[in-house]
Amino acid sequence: MARADRMTIDSGVPSMDLMESAAVAIARVASRVLQRMSGRRVLVLCGPGNNGGDGYVAARLLRAQRYKVRVASLAPPDRLRGDAARAAASWTGTLLPAQECDFHGVDLVIDALFGTGLARDLDPAAQTLVNRLNQWRRETKQSVISVDIPSGVDGTTGAIRGAAVEADETVTFFRVKTGHLLLPGRTRCGRLTCAHIGIRSTTLESMGVKAFVNAPELWLPHLPRPRVDGHKYTRGHALVVSGGASFTGAARLSASAALRAGAGLVTLASPTEALAVNASALTSVMVRPADGPVGLAHVLADERKNAIAIGPGLGVSEASCQQVEAALKPQAYRRAAVLDADALTSFESDPFRLWRATRGAPGPVVMTPHAGEFARLFAECDGNHANRSKLDKARDAARVSGAVVLYKGPDTVVAAPDGRASIQTGASPWLATAGSGDVLTGIVAGLLAQRMEGFLAASCAVWMHARAAEQFGPGLIADDIIATLPQVWRELCGESA
Ligand SMILES: NC(=O)C1=CN([C@@H]2O[C@H](COP(=O)(O)OP(=O)(O)OC[C@H]3O[C@@H](n4cnc5c(N)ncnc54)[C@H](OP(=O)(O)O)[C@@H]3O)[C@@H](O)[C@H]2O)[C@@H](O)CC1
Ligand SMILES: [K+]
């Protein structure tokens, strides 16, 4: 953000204009909130930097609209520098030290304490102020609007630096920051608005930004669609590996999801002991016997099976490791793979053995760990440095494994070895249900079977999975995600497609 800011100013846009535009956006949201609640009294908390500067300008704009505005400042105004000092000088109304401010009778607080310049944990005085503000909000149910990001949330990592404001609305500028999307930061933002303040989008291109909100713009042009002149083999053939007789449900969920994600054919490779149970529970998915690594290699001799999903219900064992190695075996044709659950955990004691396999694989590999699996497998990427986010960890994991890492959770991150990454926003809490991850694995496999590129397939699968849950709503179970996928396809392709 600082670079985008600098480039814009260097191109001739006065920095005060950016601050003025930012404040206009804040004042607009503030007056909407105030009108809704018929409130008039505003307290603006200003910090020592330009975030505080935005606060002073917003205070002036709101006062011009006849609201009753007071400003409380964390730093004496004569200690401010640059634009923040100019903004403070333009404020002629009530100004008091933040430590002494009283929330009594206030309808709305604007939090302009710290923004993207937060460089360390809040000092004790700032923490006390933030805690008082949060307590006032909880007790009175009045509103808080944060300027750029709730003060105390690290804009890059989403971590809470000592204490952080709990906002009802956050108004950010130019682009949403990773700290707004990653937990726990996301939970502090309330409703997030991103305002245009005069920074051109071309600025980003020259900066080589590689992290994106996971939205259709990212992958829609690459979404596979059935061709009029196609047949089922042109839509790919996914192979899903089943566990033993008592653990077959997970792989069946993956298999059905792969079909719904658009794979032309799906075969379940099943241990002989589980053939009957698998066959009796499936209709459009084919079932073939495959016992252990040798059996799997035999089924995989058919190179039309161009994507494999392995892990759900597989069991943690040496045999599972060998099955994964069989699935990733180097060969002349480009078979894609998605590894989940036990396919990952089986390598816990020797992750490098898995990296050798993933790095040598003939096609794209996607791994889909949740936090527990991630910690077991990527212990060295998972270190608890205050300044390393889930995004950093997923990127490191992708780099060491040479695979796309789909790090699951309420803020799922997909990272590619080349540094590209997507962050999913707004996933339904109902997705935390048995079998949900198996369905996701199947969707990835279905898209990979249709030859979608690994990072885009993984990002698209995460989005479709989340969107299905959102469309279905409360009471969701894993089967409902599969059943709702056609609705998601209709939305993505337009009703007619
Ligand atoms: N970029 C843009 O395009 C535009 C940006 N705009 C706005 O500018 C904001 C960024 O401004 P910024 O860079 O001045 O940083 P900001 O967040 O105000 O904080 C820095 C100050 O806080 C201090 N400080 C830091 N940590 C601290 C701690 N833990 N405890 C105590 N103090 C701490 C730090 O002190 P120092 O580290 O120097 O000692 C410094 O004084 C951005 O969020 C947006 O609102 C808009 O005007 C529109 C255009
Ligand atoms: K803020």
Give the residue, out of 6, 50, 177, 199, with the most ligand 1 atoms within 8 A of its beta carbon, to mutate for a pocket test: 50
Q: pLDDT at position 381, please?
A: 79
Please state the ipTM of this predicted complex.
Answer: 0.97
Binding residue positions for (6S)-NADPHX: 50-54, 115-121, 148, 250, 313, 370, 438
Q: Which ligand is nearest to the CA of 150?
A: 2
Lowest mean pLDDT among 6-10, 17-21, 320-324: 6-10
Atom from ligand 1 closest to the CA of residue 155: 43
Q: How far, in Å, is the centroid of ligand 1 from the Cα of 6?
A: 14
In the chain, ranges of CATH 3.40.50.10260 domains: 2-207
Contact 463, 424 (CB under 8 A): yes
Residue 1 has pLDDT above 90, yes or no: no
Locate the DSSP E strands across 59-168: 68-73, 94-97, 108-112, 143-147
Residue 495 has pLDDT above 70, yes or no: no
Q: Hey, whose CA ends up nearest to atom 29 of ligand 1?
A: 122
Q: pLDDT at position 228, please?
A: 85
Angle between helices 436-449 and 478-493 (to 10 degrees): 40
Report residue 137's pLDDT band, with 50, 70 and 90 as the boundaries.
very high
Residue 385 has pLDDT above 90, yes or no: no
* Ligand 1 in reach of 5 Cβ (< 6 A): yes
Q: How far, in Å, is the centroid of ligand 1 from the Cα of 31?
A: 24
Give the residue from 27, 36, 44, 67 showing the smallest Cα distance to 171: 27
CATH fit for domain 2-207, picks 3.40.50.10260, 3.30.70.100, 3.40.50.2000, 3.40.50.970: 3.40.50.10260
CA distance 431 to 466: 7
In the chain, ranges of CATH 3.40.1190.20 domains: 216-491
Name the helix (H) or strand (E) containing 162: none
The fold for domain 216-491 equals UDP-N-acetylmuramoyl-L-alanine:D-glutamate ligase (3.40.1190)
Q: pLDDT at position 425, please?
A: 93
Q: Hey, whose CA ends up nearest to atom 15 of ligand 1?
A: 117
Q: In what order do the strands lie in the sheet with 404-407?
A: 211-213, 421-423, 413-415, 404-407, 365-367, 336-339, 305-310, 237-241, 265-270, 286-289
Structure tokens at 484: 């709702």
Half-sphere exposure of 56 (CA within 13 A, CB side): 27
Q: How far, in Å, is the centroid of ligand 2 from the Cα of 491?
A: 36
Q: How far, in Å, is the centroid of ligand 2 from the Cα of 111?
A: 5
Give the residue from 368, 379, 377 showing the smallest Cα distance to 312: 368
* Ligand 1 in reach of 20 Cβ (< 6 A): no
Q: pLDDT at position 431, please?
A: 96
Q: pLDDT at position 496, please?
A: 47
Give the residue, out of 116, 145, 154, 175, with the most ligand 1 atoms within 8 A of its beta carbon, to mutate for a pocket test: 116
Residue 79 has pLDDT above 90, yes or no: yes
Share of the chain above pLDDT 90, in %: 90
What's the maximum distance between 2 C-alpha atoms anywhere in the chain?
A: 82
Angle CA 425–426–432, to nearest 5: 110
Write the pLDDT tens digit of every residue in 9-33.
999 999 999 999 999 999 999 999 9
Q: Name the DSSP letter for residue 122.
A: P
Q: How far, in Å, is the centroid of ligand 2 from the Cα of 86?
A: 19
CA distance 188 to 97: 25
Share of the chain above pLDDT 70, in %: 99
Q: Hey, whose CA ends up nearest to atom 45 of ligand 1?
A: 51
Q: List Cβ neighbours of 263 (8 Å cut-off, separation of 6 or more).
A: 235, 236, 237, 238, 307, 445, 446, 449, 450
Q: DSSP letters along 60-71, please?
A: HHHHHTT-EEEE
Q: Hey, whose CA ends up nearest to atom 21 of ligand 1?
A: 49
Question: Residue 44 phi/psi, 5° resolution?
Answer: -110, 120
Contact 275, 248 (CB under 8 A): no
Write the pLDDT tens digit of every residue in 398-412.
999 999 999 999 999
